Amino acid sequence: MTSAPVLAEMPRVEASTSSPWYARRIPELDGLRGLAILLVLVVHCIDETKFLGGYRWLSYLVAADSLSWSGVDLFFVLSGFLIGGILLDARGSANYFKAFYARRAFRILPLYAVLVSTFYLCYFAEQMEWIPASQWLFGPNVPWYAYATFTQNFHWAAGGPDRSNWLTPTWSLAVEEQFYLILPAVIWFFSGRRLLYLLGSVIVGAPFLRLFLDLSFPSGKVASFCLMPCRADALLLGVAAAMLVRHKTAWESLKSHPRSLLSAWIVLLAGLCAFIFFKQTDHVGFFMTTLGFSWLALFYLGLLLLALIHTSAWLGKILRNSWLKALGTISYGVYLIHKPVLGLIFAFFRIESPLAQTSAGRLLVLSALAITMAVAYGSWAVFERPLLKIGHRIEY
């Protein structure tokens, strides 16, 4: 099973210039979102297609991007930060639950419904031999009702099939939807130190839960990868960061010691380099499913905080790059459609699975990427953005 990202909540579009800085749109976060989806495209369109195969001089580059699947971990941290921040700011409002769930529904459900419906239509067309067959796209899968209820990750964790590449990336969407069901109540009923202690307990407990599952069940490694409680450390570290920026004393203290934060992040980066050197980067390997996910979450948390603090430094300039921000803006559409587009293009040319070990294969992959970007941009402009605006008419 490979990873795929989920779009974190956009910073509130209605925030005025009189709002606190953390309640306004933060361009660096669009850049981080763009970086996250770029990592996912690397793993699905470069690594899995063997795009660099045959170029021995690129072997070091291939080794370096062996953690590109962790783009989903960056999305989890971002989602926790943005969603947690919105809920912290809205706590106590009259429409707290109604506005949150309505806005989430308008953002997530329409395009997701299009994805799932199109899958079953194309699956029927394949069975009727109206379109070329593709086991890569339409292989054994979990029941339809799992997608309708966002429980596909439970089926995969229990050892169910996940060979339909059209829909397998949606496990991370299921994780986030389950997170959205719980977090609003947590923030509503807990505050201050009680909330912080609760978050800390779950963050620390997540790797122990993964260890237990890994040692106790045959599919424990897959469960550790795709179940929401097992990935709660990344999500809740983002929420903790949202609490941090809203605590004036703590935030000013962190800003006054930027070198300490940078030093800690460099240590985390060195750890990731060690993961790669010792070949401990398998997303369902024992090391990664126990300690590794937490290490990655801390690494991306550090990157998020550095981006918020060093807005005028080199990192901020990179993340404000217009291309990277644009990619971040359309990342939800890119995430949902890049695998279907890739598989359909190869199926059209009667190639069973996307492999780019020849010049023709590489051209097909590049064509799929171009089509994905064009369709995702169109989806954002004419479908997603108007619906997002409708959702934001519901005030907290």
Q: Each residue of 36-69: pLDDT tens digit?
A: 999 999 999 998 998 887 665 565 666 677 899 9
DSSP state of 12: P
What is the structure's pLDDT at 56? Answer: 55
Average model confidence (pLDDT) for the chain? 91
Per-residue pLDDT tens over the stretch 179-218: 999 999 999 999 999 999 999 999 999 999 999 999 999 9
**Average pLDDT estimate for 380-393:** 96
Using a cut of 0.85, tell me whether the model's pTM lies above it. yes
Cβ atoms of residues 247 and 191 within 8 Å: no
Q: Is the pLDDT of residue 2 over 70?
A: no
Degrees to nearest 5, angle at CA 224 with 79 and 9: 10
Per-residue pLDDT tens over the stretch 340-371: 999 999 999 988 899 998 899 999 999 999 99
**Average pLDDT estimate for 14-20:** 60
Residue with tokens 């839960």: 209
Confidence of residue 11 (pLDDT cuts 50, 70, 90): very low
Per-residue pLDDT tens over the stretch 98-133: 999 999 999 999 999 999 999 999 999 988 888 888
Q: How far apart are CA 334 and CA 361, in angstroms?
A: 20
Half-sphere CA count of 389, side-chain side, radius 13 A: 6
What is the structure's pLDDT at 3? Answer: 46
Per-residue pLDDT tens over the stretch 214-239: 999 999 999 999 999 999 999 999 99
**Average pLDDT estimate for 260-266:** 96
Q: How far apart are CA 103 and CA 86, in angstroms?
A: 11
Degrees to nearest 5, angle at CA 106 with 103 and 107: 85
Q: Which residues contact 383 (CB under 8 A, 6 or more apart)?
A: 110, 111
